[in-house]
Amino acid sequence: MLRCLTAGESHGRGIIAILEGMPAGIKIDVAVVDRELKRRQSGFGRGKRMQIENDLAQLVSGLKNGLTLGSPLTLLILNKDFSIERLPKVLNPRPGHADLAGLLKYGFSDARSVLERASARSTVATVGVGAVCKIFLNNFGIKISSRVLSVGGENTAEGIKEKITEAIRNKDTVGGIFEVIARGAPCGLGSYAQADRRLDGRLAQALMSIPGIKAVEIGLGSGYGISFGSEVHDAIYYKNGKGYFRKTNNAGGIEGGISNGQDIVLRACMKPISTLLDPLDSVNIASKKHALASTERSDICVVEAAGVVAESACAYILADAILEKFGGDNLSDIKNSYQGYLKRIR
């Protein structure tokens, strides 16, 4: 079973992640991790911070000669913009951000103390850990990808670029919807036995924990609410040499909290970024008088990058589910258990 703890602030010295439970014997190529970190910085509409930071992972524990030892892996990504002590106070909380709720919760008099950790900069740790989990999943033929479905209601490449350009011109931001697909996951991950072991629940929680995500669907999602059962449930077939199969995948690869062997398909909605260059009304927390919300260096649209973060979040959950079902301390032992299981269900 995996456990992960992350730390670090947006403009602090760096971001750290400690990943415990990864078995011994996995070959980790740091260049693969760095490529995933670079993907997180991609997409039209990203802000100037992406031009400052060149995120590179340092794996400072848990490896010898590039192989995992079974001990905790520590990833460190240093921030080039290490300016947390010099930045001005933030007294006018931004609508849509954690600023106000966070400072009221913790008793701060400066929203800077909130936003430094609430910032989506923390997702660099998610992607770093997710990259390691993807390397692990590759050993079982599981591949995870994402794509942007729409931005601001537009679903063509040209329309999406025009919508983001409009937001830039209007000093606004824009959100959208992306899809994540995990291919090659075997039937049997997760369980219906307890609520916290249901694979769909675990994946949904992982996606909802990404800053800015406001909705998650699995498979047909809300489309089930406007359909008859006869129209949407995936009929089951069997063929010698092929085994059980379906002709449709409205369930998104999960039934009863368990993967059913089809592609796992998830969609999520990323809200528009909270920091607006033409700010909304707010209140100065010192004077309690009307003020315009504070502005920070920010992105205009991060839907593509959010998909990359979501891939990593899903990779962590699926890696954990693989270890839960086929567990062991050594990759070879896990592979043997996995192959024996596949032979049985076929």
pTM of the model: 0.95
Predicted pLDDT of residue 296? 82
Predicted pLDDT of residue 47? 67
Residues 6+ apart with CB under 8 A from 194: none
Residues 6+ apart with CB under 8 A from 158: none
> In sequence order, what are the beta bridge partners of 15?
77
- What is the per-residue pLDDT across 154-180, written as a single tens digit (0 to 9) for each? 999 999 999 999 999 999 999 999 999
> In sequence order, what are the beta bridge partners of 202?
none
Instruction: Write b or e for each residue in 79-99: b if 16 or more Cβ atoms lie within 10 A of its Cβ, otherwise e.
Output: beeeeeeeeeebbbbbebbbb
Please give the angle made by the CA atoms of 266, 267 and 272, to the nearest 5 degrees: 150
Residues 6+ apart with CB under 8 A from 255: none
Burial class (CB in 10 A: 0-12, 13-18, 19+), 319: buried
Domains of the chain: 3-345 (3.60.150.10)
Task: Tell me the pLDDT band of 48, cut-offs 50, 70 and 90.
Answer: low
The secondary structure of residue 37, as a DSSP letter, is H
Are the CB atoms for 13 and 82 separated by under 8 Å?
yes
Comparing 48-57, 86-95, 296-305, the range with the smallest average pLDDT is 48-57
Beta strand ranges found along 204-293 (DSSP E): 213-218, 236-239, 243-246, 254-255, 258-259, 264-270, 281-283, 290-292
